[in-house]
Amino acid sequence: MVEVDLNSLTLAIGKGNRAEAVRLTKQAIEAATPPAQVLAAMVAAMDDVGRKFQCNQVFVPEMLIAARAMRESMALLEPLLVKAGIKPEFTAVIGTVQGDLHDIGKNLVAMMWKGANFGVVDLGSNVPAEKFIAAAREHKAKVVGLSALLTTTMPAMKQTVLALKAADLPGLKVVIGGAPITESFAREIGADGFAADAAGAVDTARRLVAAA
Amino acid sequence: MSIPSLKIIGERINPGFAKSKAMLDGGDISGLQELARSQTAKGCDYLTINIGDRAERDSGFLVDVIQAVQAVSHLPLSFDYPNRAVQEICLKAWQPAKAQGRKPIVNSISELRWDMLDVLKITAAKVVLMASERMEDGQPVPNETPTEIASTVHRMVHNILSNGYGLGPEDLFVDVSLTPIAMDTNGLVRRAIEAIRLIGADADLRGIHLVVGLSNLGIMLPKVAVDGSPLPVKIESAFLTLTMPHGLDTVLGTPGRDYRILPPDDFVLQGFQQAIALEGFDTLERVRRLYQRDEG
Q: What is the mean pLDDT of chain A?
A: 93
Q: What average pLDDT score do residues B104-108 get?
A: 97
- Tell me, what's the ipTM? 0.85
> How big is the A-B interface in CB pairs under 8 Å?
59
Identify from A15, A17, A20, A59 which residue to disrupt to test chain B contact, counting B C-beta atoms within 10 A and taking the largest count.
A59
Q: How confident is the model at residue B44 (pLDDT cuts 50, 70, 90)?
A: very high
The dihedral formed by the CA atoms of B63, B65, B67 and B71, expressed in degrees to the nearest 10: 180
Q: What is the pLDDT of residues A138-196, one digit of tens each?
A: 999 999 999 998 777 888 999 999 999 999 999 999 999 998 888 989 999 999 999 99
Question: pLDDT > 70: what percent of chain B?
Answer: 99
Residue A66's pLDDT is 95
Chain B residues closer than 8 Å to A101 by CB: 132-133, 140, 142
Chain B 53-112, residues with CB within 8 Å of chain A CB atoms: 53, 55-56, 81-83
The CA–CA distances, whole Å, from A186 to A173, A174, B18 equal 12, 9, 19
Report helix, strand or coil for B108. Answer: strand
DSSP 3-state assignment of B128?
strand
- pTM, 2 dp: 0.90
pLDDT bin (cut points 50, 70, 90) of residue B48 is very high
Per-residue pLDDT averaged across B132-146, rounded? Answer: 93
Closest chain A C-alpha to B235 CA, distance in angstroms = 15
Task: Give domain limits for chain B.
Answer: 1-113
DSSP lists the bridge partners of residue B10 as B47, B253
Number of residues assigned to chain B: 296
Residue in B52, B142, B220 closest to A151 by CB: B52
- State the best of B281, B289, B292, B294 to mutate against chain A, taking most chain A CBs within 10 Å: B281
Q: Which pLDDT band holds residue B296 (cuts at 50, 70, 90)? A: very low
What fold is seen in the domain B1-113?
Answer: TIM Barrel (3.20.20)
CA pseudo-torsion sign A117, A123, A126, A129: negative
When pLDDT is averaged across residues A124-135 and rounded to a whole number, the result is 96
At B163-201, the pLDDT tens digits run 888 999 999 999 998 989 999 999 999 999 999 999 999
Burial of A171 (0-12, 13-18, 19+ CB in 10 A): exposed
Over residues A90-104, the pLDDT tens digits come to 999 999 999 888 888
